[in-house]
Structure 1
């Protein structure tokens, strides 16, 4: 466990070197947050103040929490693993006395946790000061929200690992990353809450891990979902956590046997 703790800290330190990128991300998050406020608030008011269970306060919470988590939840599909498979340096990873799958997810988690500080929290603070938002009621709501957030970040890292691991067979995964970028952002609820989707599309989204990365943590952190329903969302996250981790282990083992490195 000491090794993985150091990998987590290494992920945090590595991401902390990109300070200007973090500032740029904060500006982008805030800008698009304000644009979403204009569009989605207008939709709520046009619906008479309630849109599929969202009033202005709940919609504001959705907007600023989702924008704040955007830097931490990997929805772009990019991962170091894909590059290391392509150039063959993943061989060195397999020679090390640690699990390649677990090490990659731990490092990704460190990156995600760091981004909560320069991008997530300031974005949220700006939203609270400028617009205001709903918050959970009671300690239990915050505890479940924090648990859902951590689970969402791990599921995000585990899912994007699967995209990178496809490089064992495809070699070039950039097309797959673009497909992942388009699909994940939409089904995770980045643009609009999945509660606003048509029934068939909402059901389709629930059959993927993407809402567990973003939408479910947002629902719990905003206090929109409480009680047994909140526990149900955390339960769904746990299911997806087990499935994505199991798939990652299987692909890592199969990829290790498939791997061919040429050159020298």
Structure 2
């Protein structure tokens, strides 16, 4: 059943091919801007900064642009809207775990999005700035698993934010706060390794680095199994919290009309 939901999630988003192409173009433009900025920062620092030189800094940017849509570092409110309208009652009546059902569909979305909005970015990055990627297969095998974990961690975080719809009428505040914190602490703006010590400690205490910094480190060969273990631990904790929060909210939910 969950495999079917994965396939349906893939097919659902593959229907919007023009939007995917437009998103890929936008990602490339931001990749050019961000790579220029990070290369300039490394040059100002003397050619190396926290283990990054100009080529690896550019590689970091292009890998981030390749993953940003698949991992989905933005907001998602489908669950919140279903809670608000009462359509969540349909999910509660289905013979499937609502959280795992949405997770399976989201992984299908990510699998499709990686094709038009992931691989082309790396190709353009290789042509424009060059990229420094491993020449062995192990980092890519581990990296694929890390990307899957990153996507699941991102979903679990977005699920928790959406659960606040059980108690709040307006989610714009929580979603905006989540968007700002996650985009900064995951390493989208600059690598987490460039953070000052106090900010790096704050980031390490959150699941956000597991959403972007971790898979990039694995794909670049900077880390391995230990990073995947950290991601898996965060995922287990977030899913447990998501399940408990959903059960708590469902107990107080009232659907008008029965």
Give the TM-score, by structure 2 length: 0.96
- Which of 130-139 and 192-201 deviates more? 130-139
The CA deviation string for residues 12-50 of structure 1, in whole angstroms up to 9 with x for no partner, is: 111112222211211111111101111111111111211
The CA deviation string for residues 135-163 of structure 1, in whole angstroms up to 9 with x for no partner, is: 12422222211111111111111111111
Which consecutive aligned stretches of 4+ in structure 1 deviate over 6 angstroms post-superposition?
none
Residue aligning to 1:195: 193
Whole-Å separation in 1 of the counterparts to 2:73 and 2:140? 24
Cα deviation, residue 117, structure 1: 0.6
Q: How does 1:17-166 map to 2 (within 5 A)?
A: 17-166=15-164
Alpha-carbon contact 1:86-1:172 (below 8 Å) kept:
no
Whole-Å separation in 2 of the counterparts to 1:18 and 1:172? 29
The CA deviation string for residues 136-193 of structure 1, in whole angstroms up to 9 with x for no partner, is: 2422222211111111111111111111111111143222111111111111100110
* Secondary structure at 2:4 match in 1: helix
Kindly tell me the number of residue pairs found equivalent between the two proteins: 258
Alignment partner of 1:234 is 2:228: yes
Cα deviation, residue 263, structure 1: 5.9
Where structure 2 has 5 or more consecutive residues not aligned to the other structure, the ranges are none
- Which of 149-158 and 138-147 deviates more? 138-147
Give the RMSD, CA atoms, in angstroms: 1.3
Cα deviation, residue 77, structure 1: 2.4
Whole-Å separation in 1 of the counterparts to 2:230 and 2:69? 23
The CA deviation string for residues 102-143 of structure 1, in whole angstroms up to 9 with x for no partner, is: 111111111111100111111111111221111124222222
Equivalent position to 1:221, from 219, 222, 247:
219
Whole-Å separation in 1 of the counterparts to 2:140 and 2:117? 20
Residue aligning to 2:245: 251
The CA deviation string for residues 209-236 of structure 1, in whole angstroms up to 9 with x for no partner, is: 111011100111122x14xxx2221111
* Secondary structure at 1:166 match in 2: helix
Whole-Å separation in 2 of the counterparts to 1:18 and 1:174? 26
Alpha-carbon contact 2:71-2:147 (below 8 Å) kept:
no
* Secondary structure at 1:92 match in 2: helix
Whole-Å separation in 2 of the counterparts to 1:16 and 1:192? 31
* Secondary structure at 2:69 match in 1: coil
- Which of 166-175 and 211-220 deviates more? 166-175
